[in-house]
Structures are given as C-alpha cells and as structure tokens.
Structure 1
Amino acid sequence: MHSAIDAATLRAYRDTHYRVRGDTPMTLRIDQPSPALAALHQVHGVDCSAFITAANPHSRRCGDDANARRQLALAQDLERMGLAAMAAAGEHPSNGWPAEPSFLVPGLSLHDARMLGEKYGQNAVVWSGADAVPRLVLLR
C-alpha cells in the first residue's frame, strides 16, 4: 500500500511499545499476538479493540496542553459512543519522542477507529481483531 507517511515514521510506529495502564497492564507490539489482549477481549465480551490517540496530529508535536485538550475531546467522543477507554501511552523505546497519551478501547470497530483517527488527524491507528494481533492501520 502506498502511503503519504515517510518510511522513518512508519518504522517508528512499528517499533513503538503500545502500553496499557490500569488494572490490566500490558504492552502491545505491532503484528505480535497478545494473549493478554485476547483475555481482555474475552472479559469485555468483544472481538476487537483499538489503540488510539488524538495527540500530535500527523506526528507533529503539539505540546502538552494542546494534546490534553485533544485527548479530552477523544474521550468525550468515546463516551458518547458508549465505549470504555483504558488509559494507555505509545512509547518508542529509543528515539526520544515523548510518550503519547492514548486509549485502548475494547469493542471499537475498525470503521469507527479509522473515523476517529481521521477526525483527530492521525496517520494511523492500531487495531486488533478476534486474533488479538495489533495491526498498524494507515490512514494516509
């Protein structure tokens, strides 16, 4: 698939550790099956989930205050959709990019994950189906 996203950014997305906080902490990696995510799907009675952020649209740093406002708006959108969002952060292990506040959202469909990612100017979202394998879904 051709993408408007440069190769270095794509590589960074693939290398990022997608960390879920709270009662069921886990680290998701692109294209690596996650037994912890499979168990979470089962507990929530869903067959999919998405790891999504509103921070730093198109991978341009916005600053903490702007990112906090964007995350709050995303949280409100998820609440209106009747979905529970778990606190998370995307953290690259070595490139110095600040951890991005994010959510893991059990039950968020691929269609809705794409829609929200596009609404908040993201290059990509991470989505997992019934196989609990996080996949990078490019939006540009």
Structure 2
Amino acid sequence: MTNQLPAELFQAFTETHYIVHHQPPFTMNIGVFCPDLEKLMAERKALCAAFITAWNPFAQQLSDTENEARQHTLKANLTERGLAFIDGIGQHPGNGWPGEPSVLILDMGREAAKALAGQYEQLAFVWADQTAVPTLMVPD
C-alpha cells in the first residue's frame, strides 16, 4: 500500500519518530515492535490503534493557525464519536520538517483509520494491531 507514496516521502515517513504523550511518553517507529504501545493497548483493552494528524494536508505546509484549526476539528470529531485518543507528535529526527501534532486513537480499525486520514487529506498514517508493530498506511 505504501508504494503509492513518492519514494522520498515514504522514506521520510518511515524514518519519522511517532511520539505518544502518554505517561511516560513513548516513541513508535515504523516496522519496530513497540512494547509501550503493546502495554497501553493491553491496559485499555484496545485491539488496534491509529496515529493520525490533520496538519499539512497532502504534505503541503500550512500556517500554524490553519493547522491548529484543522487539528482542533479532528479532535472534536473524535470526541463526538466517543473515541479515546492521546496527543502526540510526528517528528522526523533530522530533515528539518516541523513536527506535526497528532493523536493516537485507540481501537480505530484499519478501514476507519483510512477513511479518517483521507477525510483530513493525509498522504499516510500509522496503524498497529495487537502485534504492536506500527505500519505506515495510505488512505484509499
């Protein structure tokens, strides 16, 4: 599925650190088992999780004001739907692209996450099942 992304974006998204502002905070990396995610999902009895942002649609930088409004709308949408989430940030370790505030949404299935990422015009999102190995996914 990730082959729909340009190679440079695929590489950047794969290298990005997906930091979850849980207590204590933890970092998810694509394709790497995350024991902290496994523990969180077990504690919350979640079967899966999605890490999604509303910032910078289609990888086009917007102003902080525009991005903050988009993220606020995403979080309000999740709250209205009764979905539990934890704030986070996606931050590449060295390419200079600003970190993007994000949310880890517990118990959001893959298809629902694809739809949500598409709704917020994202080129990709992170999803994990009970194996707690984050995977880079693209919306349809």
Aligned partner of 1:61 in structure 2 is 61
- Rounded to whole Å, the distance in 1 between the matches of 2:9 and 2:33 is 22
Pairing of 1:96-135 with structure 2 (within 5 A): 96-135=96-135
**By how many angstroms is 1:19 displaced?**
0.4
Contact 2:115 2:139 in 1 (8 A): no
1:53-88: CA deviation from partner (whole Å, max 9, x where unpaired): 000011110111011000011001111221121110
- Rounded to whole Å, the distance in 1 between the matches of 2:130 and 2:6 is 30
- Rounded to whole Å, the distance in 1 between the matches of 2:68 and 2:22 is 19
Aligned partner of 1:32 in structure 2 is 32
- Rounded to whole Å, the distance in 2 between the matches of 1:109 and 1:81 is 14
- Rounded to whole Å, the distance in 1 between the matches of 2:23 and 2:49 is 17
What SS class does the counterpart of residue 36 from structure 1 fall into?
helix
**What residue identity is the alignment partner of 1:38?**
E
Report the TM-score, using the length of structure 1 for normalisation.
Answer: 0.95
What SS class does the counterpart of residue 121 from structure 1 fall into?
coil
How many percent identity over aligned positions?
Answer: 37
**By how many angstroms is 1:137 displaced?**
0.5
Listed as ranges, the gaps of 5+ residues in structure 2 are none
**By how many angstroms is 1:130 displaced?**
0.8
Report the TM-score, using the length of structure 2 for normalisation.
Answer: 0.95
Listed as ranges, the gaps of 5+ residues in structure 1 are none
The alignment yields a C-alpha RMSD, in angstroms, of: 1.1
What SS class does the counterpart of residue 133 from structure 2 fall into?
coil
What SS class does the counterpart of residue 75 from structure 2 fall into?
helix
What SS class does the counterpart of residue 27 from structure 2 fall into?
strand
What SS class does the counterpart of residue 55 from structure 2 fall into?
coil
Moved >2 Å (runs of 4+): none
1:72-108: CA deviation from partner (whole Å, max 9, x where unpaired): 1100111122112111000000000000010011111
What SS class does the counterpart of residue 51 from structure 2 fall into?
strand
What SS class does the counterpart of residue 82 from structure 2 fall into?
coil
**What residue identity is the alignment partner of 1:135?**
T
- Rounded to whole Å, the distance in 2 between the matches of 1:63 and 1:13 is 21
Aligned partner of 1:9 in structure 2 is 9
Give the aligned length: 139
**What residue identity is the alignment partner of 1:105?**
I
